[in-house]
Amino acid sequence: MPVAEQPGLTELLQPVRGRLLAAMLLQVLAALVGLLPLIAVAELAPLLLAGELDVDRAGFWLLAGGGALLLRLLGLAAGLQITHLADSDLQRHLRQRIAAHLARVPLAWLDGQRQTAERVLLEDVGALHQLVAHLPNNLVAALVVPLASLIYLLTVSLPMTLVVLAPPLVALWRLRVMRTPAYHAERQRLGAAMGALSTATLNFVQSIAMVKSFGRVERVQDDFFKAVEDFGRFFSQWVERWAGLGASVEVLLSPLLVLALVLVGGVALIAGGGLQPAQLLAFALLGPALAAPVAALGHGADSLVQGRAAAQRISAVLSTPVLAQPAFSREPEGALVTFDSVDFSYPDGTQVLRGIDLRLQPGTLTALVGDSGAGKSTLATLLARFADVSAGAIRIGGVDLRDMDSATLYRQVAFVFQEVRLLRASVLDNLRLGRPEASLAEVEEAARAAQIHERICALPEGYHTLLGTGVQLSGGEVQRLGIARAMLSQAPILVLDEATAASDPQSEAAIQQALSRLAAGRTVLVIAHRLSSIQDADQIAVLQGGQLRECGRHQALLDQQGVYAGLWAAEQFGAAPLTRALS
């Protein structure tokens, strides 16, 4: 399985890099032009006070200043327009890229990392908004305006420039702690504390109905209250430790403090003959701008940290290894399934299956049984190529699964698991998921066979009813929709995680009838949770500790007095046999 290289933030921003650079250039021009009116005022003030400024010259500067302000506004608007459009395009591009990548990762990874994938698609891509749409413009303006102001003020008075530079330099010295490992560790602890509070809140909301039914609401309330108190305690400590830093920096960068220093320092320099009174206006107008980079550093730090963290999570998903696809896909001949010396281990090295040899003859029912953790689900999902085997091979019709592309494989194999997932789409689109070209008549035929046609017709818009918009379906009805979907696919091989294990008696009968039609003539592999439901299976494969211990028919296995006989003796009866319905 190939390992993808993890992309960095620069690589993620590559599709909009040119537009971001263009927006930053516009921001540079807008910032420089925006200084012209202030510089003009500073230059004209001495002439005005001395009575040397004529009306024509004043009118020229007035028009120039007004034009500069207009150009600045246009530049700002154009820059923000470019970055916001770039942000919109980048989010669309990343979501499409992530979705395409997730379509190629092992389904076993996706099943275990569903919340991670959802967070990346729904939250982390959106978290790049400040980083793309605002931060480039803000940082450019925060650097260009102070730099241009500093150059101009140095030509007016070096001592006075040093006076107005003092507050931002002290603030920078105060903010040096933000670059230390201790501060970064504290930020991570704050993020972890907020995450723990969010998790506790979600657990409280999701479990309140269940615990109320058992009269144990106090327990979930206590857990939630404890999480709130823990976060409040931690956040209070955070504020006590860092609030002083933030407050002192805010004071140092405030325009009022800068103006006060301009007045105090200016009066002293004027009294000493080192500064002309009219020159004080330039420092009053432009001096506060020198604090902008430090303020931007403080205010933009959170956006930058959050954006980088989101980019790291996006990159981690995009670097998830994908299942290799063959250059040329082979078509299987028949529906014979062969497990040939199959081993499987998790990425951390934990071995789950060892040396599995098993044949599933066309048109037969094979049941996988064993205690919890024996490897039943793993073996069944390997047939669907949720992951690749670590050693050995799985073949359908003599063709290794790795020599088929996904489309070919899923034309051969259909799945019905206990938890059927439906799309937020119409009933018709949900049923056609495996065969988009199926006609309405074919869909209705599959629904009738799955005992769900009448329920669909009773929906507000029948087969065109949009699911996920308030339409209530029972668990058994959802299960029958999944069966109809598998039936419509016409795949010759069926993987079935006993679909009636969690069904009520009324739904179970309808599901059993639907399954009997679905399994007819197919090669069926059942993950059996109740041995009484698979007594009539053509063969029963008994797994223990990841190995195939026994394989045969029900009575023959009982006669062996081995693992299966022990499982049978321990089981509590009462389940309706699945294969009785299939016969």
DSSP code, position 402:
G
Closest CA to 442 of 483, 412, 487, 407: 487
Burial of residue 195 (CB within 10 Å: 0-12, 13-18, 19+) is exposed
Cβ-based neighbours of 154, under 8 Å, separated by 6 or more: 161
Place of tokens 């970055």: 83
Which are the contacts of 119, defined by CB distance < 8 A and separation ≥ 6? 313
Q: What's the confidence (pLDDT) of residue 577? A: 42
Please give the single-letter amino acid code of residue 362: P
Q: Cβ neighbours of residue 202 under 8 Å, at least 6 residues apart?
A: none
Q: State the pLDDT at residue 393.
A: 93
Structural domains of the chain, with CATH: 1-155+308-324 (1.20.1560.10), 158-274 (no CATH), 337-582 (3.40.50.300)
Pairing of β 351-360 and β 337-345: antiparallel
Angle at 49 between CA 48 and CA 55, to 5 degrees: 20
Is residue 323 within 8 A of residue 106, CB to CB? The reply is yes
**DSSP of 76-93, one letter per residue?**
HHHHHHHHHHHHHHHHHH
Say which DSSP state 11 is in: H
Q: Provide the edge-to-edge strand list for the sheet that holds 399-400.
A: 351-360, 337-345, 391-396, 399-400
Within 84-195, strands assigned E span none
The amino acid occupying position 342 is V
Residue 390 CB-half CA count within 13 A: 16
For residue 347, the model assigns a pLDDT of: 77
**How many angstroms separate the CA atoms of 428 and 425, rounded?**
8
d(CA 382, CA 362): 18
Query: 415 vs 218, 252, 292, 397, CA distance in Å?
Result: 41, 65, 60, 18
CB 342 within 8 A of CB 356: yes
CB contact set of 317 (below 8 Å; sequence gap of 6+)? 98, 101, 102, 116, 117, 120
Whose structure tokens read 């299976």? 537
C-alpha–C-alpha distance, residues 550 and 553, integer Å: 10
Q: Which residues contact 72 (CB under 8 A, 6 or more apart)?
A: 30, 31, 33, 34
Q: How many CA atoms lie within 13 A of 97 on its CB side?
A: 19
Per residue in 242-285, pLDDT (tens digit) is: 777 777 777 777 778 888 888 888 888 888 888 888 788 888 88
What is residue 575's three-state secondary structure? Answer: coil
| Biggest alpha carbon–alpha carbon distance for the chain | 119
- Other C-beta atoms within 10 Å of 46: how many? 16
78/84 Cα distance (integer angstroms):
10
- Residues of the chain with confidence (pLDDT) below 70: 1-8, 47, 49-54, 57-58, 111-112, 178-179, 206-220, 292-303, 498-515, 518, 572-583
pLDDT tens figures, 307-350: 777 888 888 888 888 778 888 889 998 889 999 999 998 877 88
> SS3 of 176, please?
helix
Measured distance CA(446)–CA(440) in Å, rounded: 10
368: left (phi over 0), alpha (psi -120 to 50) or beta: beta
3-state secondary structure 271-309: HCCCCCHHHHHHHHHHHHHHHHHHHHHHHHHHHHHHHHH
DSSP classification of residue 576: P
| Distance between CA atoms of residues 580 and 516, nearest Å | 9
pLDDT at 164: 86
Counts of helices then strands in the chain (DSSP H, E): 24, 10
Per-residue model confidence (pLDDT) at position 391: 92
pLDDT the model gives residue 535: 82
**Residue 419 dihedral angles phi and psi, to the nearest 5°:** -100, 105
Please state, in angstroms and rounded to a whole number, the distance separating the CA atoms of residues 219 and 221. 5
CB atoms within 10 A of CB 275: 20
